């Protein structure tokens, strides 16, 4: 199976807004402006939202955190020049596209992205893809980058954490009328969720805070803690693991001591908080708190606020390591995972089958949106491609590709063999004339200056991640021949993480190199 992903305008259908946009010279009704494209080859069906659901969701503003809490995360070196939410995935997308698309598909049209670390790439992507245009007439996607504020000078110039970021931006967020709740979302997680369900549960229970908890996660990161739930899904206790390895538990002052129906579930780091509760927590109860997960949420539980859990039984991966990133990409090409639904997910999980991300990208009912690039179709010349995902604008010559994600503008030379790898792609095409000039001036150039962007002839890659604009020469072998689990060759353009060779962005791997 080969999936070619082309960034096409959606099929004409019933518009959700009174406006129509021009796409390639033709006017067609779209549920979104033309600057937001649906990047898959299936016909797109308009989302059917009742008037009640629209009103319910439109009173919620989403706040997306574009990066993690650390400038150097476990996704390094993929985060060397970009934040976690900006990491490319599945050939055509960024991680944050999945979260923004969840909001759009849930009819939440007031979306804010708070960014700080290495945010240039993420800010550019969000601004070009989603900002400056109306979603549903009045909705906005607005990027709020970390800024210097005289009012918070005592706490430093930048966001000190998720809670501090919201506090410093509250003067913008609180002006949103008639918003009644804030939905706080990490921007680097991969999942598909209908946020209308958590909103409905939150309002039905009349909770102050509702936390999404995963019932089937196999890759939980303890940074979000564990929730102890009673038989009515009210959070009675919270356990959190700090960086030094110590665990601390917070219990509600109104805790039900009965063990009937009690269970522990991992928190997904997704919080729905009433607007007035948010202001009281940040300004009155915990004015010096910097982090939501480790300070504000446990504190709210401890002081007796009504904190409920919304149990989510679908796929969720928080993509906090190179291994998780690699696995999510590999699962995105599995044919049997395409178009999964909640029932099949639960059934397959009970059977011990790990169901992963492809449904998030290939489901025409709830599409994933991204930035249109206007690239040419991928050119394939006598290549043998199986079980792979090919992005837009690639030039693939006489090579063999198996079980690989190939990102946009990738060029692969004759005789190359690529297996079980992730090629993120390139920002530019290297002109043929430039390559010929490099050859003619070879006497005055170093070898690595003559290597074009892409994968060279007769090269072999297996279980590798190749970051953007990397230049891999001819006859290169990247197979981790020594079976190293962790290695640091950053000075030479690569590192090894969890047994996976990662070629750095803009790295040059000379002809004949063996890794």
| 55 — pLDDT class (breaks 50, 70, 90) | low
DSSP state of 474: T
pTM greater than the 0.85 cutoff: no
Q: Where are the beta strands (DSSP E) in 291-340?
A: 307-312, 316-317
Coil, strand, or helix at residue 28? strand
Residue 87 neighbours by CB under 8 Å, 6+ apart: 75, 78, 79, 94, 95, 188, 319, 325
Q: pLDDT (tens digit, 9 = 90+) per residue, 175-199?
A: 766 789 999 999 999 889 999 999 9
**Hey, which bits of 7-92 come out as E strands?**
21-23, 26-28, 37-38, 60-65, 88-89
Question: Burial, 78: exposed, middle or buried (Cβ in 10 Å; 0-12, 13-18, 19+)?
Answer: buried
The pLDDT assigned to 9 comes to 37
Q: Which residue has the higher pLDDT, 9 or 367?
A: 367
Segment 406-428 mean pLDDT: 96
Average pLDDT value for residue range 96-112: 91
Peptide bond just before 464 cis, omega within 30 deg: no
d(CA 105, CA 32): 11
Which residues does 51 contact at the CB level (< 8 Å), separation at least 6? none
Give the pLDDT confidence score for residue 42 in this predicted structure.
34
Query: Look-up: residue for tokens 């909001």?
Result: 103
- Distance from chain centroid for Cα 473: 31
pLDDT at position 278: 94
Q: Is the predicted pLDDT of residue 485 greater than 80, yes or no?
A: yes
Confidence of residue 39 (pLDDT cuts 50, 70, 90): very low
Q: What is the DSSP string of 186-214?
A: ETT-EE---HHHHHHHHHHHT-SEEEEEE
The whole-chain average pLDDT of the chain stands at: 78
The CATH 3.90.550.10 domain(s) of the chain lie at: 54-149+158-322
The span from the CA of 388 to the CA of 419, in Å, is 9
Which whole number is the average pLDDT over 363-375?
Answer: 84
Q: What is the pLDDT of residue 161?
A: 84
Peptide bond into 372 cis (omega under 30): no
pLDDT higher at 379 or 55: 379
Residues of the chain with CATH 2.160.10.10: 379-430+449-509
Record the tokens describing residue 288, joined without a space.
């010096």
E strands, 221-337, are 226-229, 235-241, 247-251, 263-274, 307-312, 316-317
| CA atoms within a 13 Å half-sphere pointing along the CA-CB vector of 340 | 30
Q: Contact at 8 Å (CB) between 110 and 123?
A: no
What is the pLDDT at residue 390? Answer: 95
Q: Which fold has domain 379-430+449-509?
A: UDP N-Acetylglucosamine Acyltransferase; domain 1 (2.160.10)
- Predicted local distance difference test score (pLDDT) of residue 508: 95
> What would be the CATH architecture of the domain defined by 54-149+158-322?
Alpha-Beta Complex (3.90)
The pLDDT-based confidence of 430 (bands split at 50, 70, 90) is confident
- Write down the pLDDT at residue 450: 82
Q: Taking 90 as the threshold, does the pLDDT of residue 71 lie above it?
A: no
- β-strands 37-38, 190-191: how paired? unpaired
DSSP letter for each residue of 127-187? HHHTTTS-BTTTBEEEEEE----GGGGGG-SS--SHHHHHHHHHHHHTT-TT--EEEEEET
| Alpha-carbon span 393 to 395, nearest angstrom | 7
- Select from 247, 258, 208, 246 the least CA-distant residue to 238: 247
What is the model's pLDDT at position 139? 53
- The whole-number pLDDT of residue 242 equals 67
Q: For residues 426-440, give the mean pLDDT.
A: 64
Cα(425)–Cα(66) distance, integer angstroms: 22
């Amino acid at each position: 199976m080969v999936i070619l992903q082309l960034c096409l305008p959606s099929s004409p259908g019933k518009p959700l807004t009174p406006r129509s946009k021009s796409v390639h010279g033709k006017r067609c009704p779209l549920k979104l402006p033309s600057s937001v494209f649906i990047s898959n080859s299936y016909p797109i069906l308009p989302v059917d939202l009742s008037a009640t659901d629209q009103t319910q969701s439109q009173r919620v503003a989403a706040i997306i955190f574009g990066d993690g809490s650390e400038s150097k995360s476990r996704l390094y070196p993929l985060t060397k020049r970009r934040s976690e939410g900006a990491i490319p995935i599945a050939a055509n997308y960024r991680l944050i596209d999945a979260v923004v698309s969840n909001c759009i598909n849930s009819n939440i049209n007031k979306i804010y992205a708070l960014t700080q670390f290495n945010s240039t790439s993420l800010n550019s992507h969000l601004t070009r893809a989603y900002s400056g245009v109306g979603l549903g007439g009045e909705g906005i996607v607005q990027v709020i980058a970390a800024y210097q504020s005289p009012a918070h000078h005592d706490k430093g110039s930048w966001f000190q954490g998720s809670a501090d970021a919201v506090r410093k931006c509250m003067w913008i967020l609180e002006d949103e009328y008639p918003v009644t709740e804030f939905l706080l979302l990490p921007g680097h997680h991969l999942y598909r969720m209908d946020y209308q369900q958590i909103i409905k549960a939150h309002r039905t229970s009349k909770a102050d805070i509702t936390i999404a908890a995963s019932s089937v996660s196999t890759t939980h990161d303890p940074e979000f803690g564990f929730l102890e739930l009673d038989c009515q899904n009210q959070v009675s206790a919270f356990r959190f693991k700090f960086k030094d390895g110590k665990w601390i538990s917070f219990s509600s002052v109104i805790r039900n001591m009965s063990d009937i129906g009690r269970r522990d579930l991992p928190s997904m780091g997704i919080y729905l908080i009433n607007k007035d509760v948010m202001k009281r927590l940040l300004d009155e109860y915990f004015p010096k708190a910097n982090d939501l997960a480790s300070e504000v949420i446990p504190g709210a539980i401890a002081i007796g606020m009504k904190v409920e859990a919304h149990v989510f039984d679908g796929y969720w991966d928080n993509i906090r390591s190179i291994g998780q990133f690699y696995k999510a990409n590999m699962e995105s090409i599995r044919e049997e995972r395409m178009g999964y639904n909640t029932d099949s997910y639960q059934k397959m999980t009970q059977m011990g089958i790990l169901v992963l991300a492809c449904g998030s990208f290939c489901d025409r009912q709830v599409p994933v949106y991204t930035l249109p690039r206007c690239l040419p179709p991928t050119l394939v010349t006598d290549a043998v491609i199986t079980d792979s995902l090919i992005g837009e604008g690639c030039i693939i010559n006489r090579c063999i590709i198996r079980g690989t994600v190939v990102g946009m503008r990738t060029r692969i030379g004759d005789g190359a063999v690529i297996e079980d790898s992730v090629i993120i792609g390139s920002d530019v095409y290297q002109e043929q004339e430039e390559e010929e000039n490099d050859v003619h001036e070879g006497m005055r150039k170093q070898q690595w200056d003559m290597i074009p962007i892409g994968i060279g002839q007769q090269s072999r890659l297996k279980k590798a991640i190749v970051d953007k604009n990397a230049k891999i020469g001819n006859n290169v072998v990247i197979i981790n021949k020594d079976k190293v689990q962790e290695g640091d060759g950053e000075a030479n353009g690569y590192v090894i993480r969890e047994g996976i060779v990662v070629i750095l962005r803009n790295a040059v791997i000379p002809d004949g190199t063996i890794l």
